[in-house]
Structure 1
Amino acid sequence: MTRDRSQGTPVLRLEKVVKEYEGTPPLRILHGIDLTVTEGELVAVVGPSGSGKSTLLALIGTLDRPTSGRIHLEGHDLAAMSERQVAALRARRIGFVFQQFFLLPGLTTVENVATGLLYTGESARRRRERAVRALHDVGLEHRLGHRPNQLSGGEKQRVAIARALVGRPGLLLADEPTGSLDTASGRGVVDLLRRLNEEGTTVVVITHDRDLAASFPRQVVIQDGWLTFDERSGDSAPAAGSRAHGGLV
């Protein structure tokens, strides 16, 4: 039976978030975004190229600041924090997975995953132990000593996911995680994200793949910088206060 996670503790909350870049006139990328993601949700943010998805990801991931509006991460108001405090919060509480794997070619699989713990102050032995456990969790315990050039695309993405999760973040952000994979490998990565979510990880996937998004329990549609649709399975509705462009078609 699917659990209703829509009423859980907020992990992420955006309030009237606007992002502009300087110019004459200024270029507005995001228009007053309101979005709340609660603990244990699996959310797809979907939209075409140029819709504002990447900008939204940068704001959610604390890699950039909004022009106006507020962003709260696990109850922390980011606007009230220094850059150093935000960076520390990001390192502890957000895991990133990208379309490109960004694995270091000279390191083994377990060494690549252990890099996700470099700023924790833990000993090298402890980092390795946690990296081994994370690789076991993603089904790669038999690839500990392999280097990236000895792995398939799907295996490389699993290593990247293990690296993102090794620090036990509260939020996993995946940016087009299947974009550079073949169909079978992509399906395996999606299945892994689903399993990790079932085990309690909050996951937000940024994608242009509407079929993938439609298979998730919640879909958020971004179009021309507007949040136009926010749908949970069995509870379809346009986003409040948004410009209506329609849902997943």
Structure 2
Amino acid sequence: MASDKAQVKLYWLEKSRAQNILWLLEELKIDYEIETFRRGSDMLAPSELKKIHPLGKSPLVSVTPPGPSSEPIILAESGFITQYLSEHFGHETTMMPKRWKEGQEGKVGGETEEWMRWQYLLHFVEGTFMSTLIIAVVVGMLKSNKIPFFLRPITSMVANQILSSFILPNLKGQLGFLEKQLETSSGDYLCGKNLTSADVLLSFGLLSVRDRLEEYGSWPAGGPQGVYPKLFAYSTRLESQPGYKKSVEKIKEIDSSLGIEF
């Protein structure tokens, strides 16, 4: 007998941004399955993921509409996944703000400020913020023990120069932008009073980089927390969300089943 609900599956890869989507699925309060994958010795995604999507990256989500002959819809790219799931499953949640002002439906400029923030932030996180963080990770590898020890002093010096002169100024600008968004949102979250999927999407990158900022270069007295007090308080609020905590517990279960230390 066919289900009258869409079937959702998250393809989980260890140590990936699938954590964001897991939290989102918890907030959407829908039933979902998880299929797990391990990275290879080269830390790249396994080739099996390419059978699901040609790029073979994670996260991936399949959504099978209700009906006996429905084919699964494969969603890739975190921003697109977040928007699609929010639009189709988020109507009884706060994950997607109301789009239109009363009486302005479909008109240019008729969108609410909350929706405009939400839509922009989905693109900001993926197009700007995560790009900077990924470059930082790649440059940071020049200081890792994978570099021969006799070359490491040179590569570390180059890495530190790139981090302090290029990556950190860009990152400071982006964090300053987020600080301002919190100052002007009229609430505790980036789009307003309610947690949305834009906050969820941002969480992985923000929480990953928060405690490493001082590694990238110099800061004034008080450090990054003194410069971005609202952003640091906001990041703590994200960690206190029930859905976030539940997703962390699920990740621990998944990692344990794969023999990975969380």
- Which of the five TM-score ranges fits, normalised by the shorter chain? 0.3 to 0.5
Greater RCO between the two (CA within 8 Å, min separation 6)?
1
* Structure with max Cα Rg: 2
More strand by share: 1
More helix by share: 2
TM-score scaled to structure 2, two decimals?
Answer: 0.32
TM-score scaled to structure 1, two decimals?
Answer: 0.33
